[in-house]
Structure 1
Amino acid sequence: MYNKVVTIFNKYEDQTGEIYWYPHVLYGVDLIVDKAANIAKTGLDSADTAKLHIRYHIADGNKMVGNLPWLPPKEWEQQPNDELSESITFDSGDFFMEGEYPTDPVKDSDYADRLNGNGFYGYMNKRHDYVFLITTVGGPYTLIPHFEIGGK
């Protein structure tokens, strides 16, 4: 338990409508993947789900995830662009993958023409196993300080 590594990709849209993904590598998380498949009318449809448990601790009044301060989604988006890599949030529309990914911000439009034009998330989902779109966010819980993230 709490022995996995994941990369969280926070989505940010600037004033011009350009989308950027800010990767954050987290060590010592608990990731539970339920591999499943549904039979849809058109054939096999992936129904893989994930539960991600991320611990936090308090330092100087801030909730810290690893060495990054956690901010609620709206507060995270209001930061200056050059500070987005220095904090983390969890929000629907973000995604995560098992394993490490380089932490340089990624411009979504650089991937618009790759693999059916679904942007960076589509590219990652088609190239890597265990990539999950965040569907639910629970926490921050205080009794046992952690977040519970659901993905599909």
Structure 2
Amino acid sequence: MYDKTVTVFNKYTDQNDNIYWYPHVLSGVDLIIDKAANVAKTGLDSADTANLHVKYHILHGEKMVGDKPYIPPKEWEKQLNDDLSESITFASGDFFMQGEYAETPILDSDYSDRVNSGFYNYMNKRHDYVFLITTVGGPYTLIPHFEIGGK
């Protein structure tokens, strides 16, 4: 347990409607992947789900995920673009993948072409175990952690 590494991608839209993704590599997480498939009208449809458990600790009254302060989603969006790499949030619409990805902000429009409709789509087509965040539980206090569901 708590032996996996994931990269969480936080989505940020600036005042000019440019979308950026801020990757954060998290080690020492618990990732449970349920591989499944549904038969839809159009054929086989992936129904893989993931449960991600991320520990946090308190430092000077702040919740810390790894070495970054956790900021609730609405507060995180209000930060200046320059500060976003220095903190982390978990929100519906963000995504995560198993493994490490470089921690450099990514401009979504660099991945928008006829084949891809943005960075998330690009990553989902090229990598296994990429999950859109669908639920966020926590922060829980008895055992300090977040429970994040992905699909």
Shorter-chain TM-score: what band? over 0.9
Determine the C-alpha separation between the residues in 2 that align with 1:34 and 1:88: 25
The answer to whether 1:128 aligns with 2:114 is no
Deviations 1:83-138 (A, max 9, x none): 00000000000000000000000000000016x23100000000000000000000
Task: Name the counterpart of 1:41.
Answer: 41
State the number of aligned residues: 151
Task: Name the counterpart of 1:107.
Answer: 107
Determine the C-alpha separation between the residues in 1 that align with 2:41 and 2:79: 45
Task: Name the counterpart of 2:11.
Answer: 11
Question: What aligned pairs does 1:20-35 form with structure 2 within 5 A after superposition?
Answer: 20-35=20-35
Counterpart amino acid of residue 131 in structure 1: V
Equivalent position SS for 1:117: coil
Determine the C-alpha separation between the residues in 2 that align with 1:118 and 1:125: 11
Determine the C-alpha separation between the residues in 2 that align with 1:75 and 1:40: 39
TM-superposed CA distance for 1:8, in Å, is 0.2
Determine the C-alpha separation between the residues in 1 that align with 2:58 and 2:96: 23
Task: Name the counterpart of 1:141.
Answer: 140
Equivalent position SS for 1:124: helix
The answer to whether 1:92 aligns with 2:92 is yes
Task: Name the counterpart of 2:117.
Answer: 118
Task: Name the counterpart of 2:67.
Answer: 67
Deviations 1:10-44 (A, max 9, x none): 00000010000000000000000000000001100
Counterpart amino acid of residue 124 in structure 1: M
Determine the C-alpha separation between the residues in 2 that align with 1:137 and 1:127: 25
Q: TM-score, normalised by structure 1?
A: 0.98
After TM superposition, the runs of 4+ consecutive aligned structure 1 residues lying more than 6 A away are none
Q: Which runs of 5+ in 2 are unaligned?
A: none
Q: Alignment RMSD, CA only?
A: 0.6
Percent same amino acid at aligned positions?
Answer: 77
Q: Which runs of 5+ in 1 are unaligned?
A: none
Q: TM-score, normalised by structure 2?
A: 0.99
Counterpart amino acid of residue 67 in structure 2: N
